[in-house]
Amino acid sequence: MIKKCMFPVAGYGTRFLPATKAMPKEMLPIVNKPLVQYGVEEALDAGLYEIAFVTGRGKRTINDHFDISYELEHQIAGTDKEQYLVGIRDIIDRAVFSTTRQREMKGLGHAILTGETLVGDEPFGVILADDLCFNEGGDSVMAQMVKVFRQVRCSIVAIEEVPEDQIHKFGCIDGEAVRDDLFRVTNMVEKPRKEEAPSNLAIIGRYILTPDIFDILRRTPPGKNGEIQITDALLQQARDGCVMAYRFKGQRFDCGSVDGFVEATNYCYEHLYKRGKL
């Protein structure tokens, strides 16, 4: 079954400048945890314990976060402050981390292709940590997708309905419904104008990909914004075989934008932190 999860974390995070000038966007905290830790927790919840980071320049603190900090451990050993490290210690014990670097930011598709060396010839999850997803009381979004993968055995993208005037920010799918939460993809467009969008079903930052995607990515020319788009490669994969789109249960916050980040912070503070769940 699937055990690997790729985290493309090489992006510049320009929407959060100047905060992201010397600090990765993925290390920005939502209450008391960096964004990327929520993503890794979701991967572990889904049984994906081999974590593969595709990083870039200035992202070293992501690796440091998932390593032991001896000075800190020594300093707080035996004090009541140790409780704050229980969660991250548990993650470090349960997961295995590997890293490669994307040298030039040529798009998400290019970042995923760069991660091939860490993933090899098996299906894998992809989590974009700036899409923060919660499904309180139920399976995490990646865990839901793993269950769907057991049934369909092909690449899956997570989707949600968005208002028509928002669709230009997303990859957009068209598809045939096979059940009310699952579509067989027939078309995909990256960041379409409202008039061009085939639906209001937007792709969010959760994928399960089969490894044939790498050969397709190698042949995919730069698309929108001159970047190698995973959406273009997935459309090819859908045409050659099958790609499914899964409407997940739960909610998503776009923490790559300031508004989404603040919403996520408020949600986590009210629903998780105040109830002792963070």
- Where on the chain is the footprint of ligand UTP (CB under 6 A)? 8-15, 25, 54, 102, 105-108, 110-111, 128, 130, 256
| Nearest distance from C-beta of residue 56 to ligand UTP, angstroms | 7
Q: Which is nearer to ligand UTP, 79 or 225 (CB)?
A: 225
| Torsion sign, CA atoms 180, 234, 59, 61 | positive
CB proximity list for 238: less than 8 A, separation 6 or greater: 185, 186, 188
Indicate the angle between helix axes 35-45 and 86-94, nearest 10 degrees: 50
- DSSP H/E element including 232: helix 230-240
- Find the shortest distance in angstroms from Cβ 213 to ligand UTP: 15
Of 10 and 46, the one with the shorter C-beta distance to ligand UTP is: 10
Tell me the closest approach of the beta carbon of residue 272 to ligand UTP, in angstroms. 22
Give the residue with the Cβ less far from ligand UTP, 4 or 110.
110
Shortest distance (Å) from residue 70 CB to ligand UTP: 29
Q: Which is nearer to ligand UTP, 108 or 182 (CB)?
A: 108
CA 122/CA 153 separation, integer angstroms: 12
- Of 174, 236, 232, 237, residue with least CA distance to 200: 174
* Residue closer to ligand UTP (CB basis): 9 or 52: 9
Q: What's the closest the beta carbon of residue 134 comes to ligand UTP, in angstroms?
A: 18
95 within 8 A of 40, measured Cβ to Cβ: yes
**Residue, CB closest to ligand UTP:** 11
Provide the minimum distance between the beta carbon of 176 and ligand UTP in the complex, in angstroms, as a whole number: 28
Which two structure tokens, joined as six digits, stand for 33? 């945890």
- Of residues 125 and 182, the one with the C-beta less far from ligand UTP: 125
Question: Would you tell me how many other CB atoms lie within 10 Å of the CB of residue 151?
Answer: 11
Question: Cβ closer to ligand UTP: 21 or 89?
Answer: 21
**E strand map for the chain:** 4-8, 29-30, 33-34, 50-55, 96-101, 124-127, 131-134, 155-161, 171-179, 182-190, 201-209, 243-247, 251-254
**124-127 and 4-8 as β-strands: parallel, antiparallel, unpaired?**
parallel
What's the token pair of residue 135? 């499904």
CA gyration radius, the chain: 18
Shortest approach of ligand UTP to residue 46 CB, angstroms?
A: 18
Least Cβ distance, residue 55 to ligand UTP (angstroms): 8
Q: Given the complex with ligand UTP, which of 198 and 260 has the nearer CB atom? A: 260
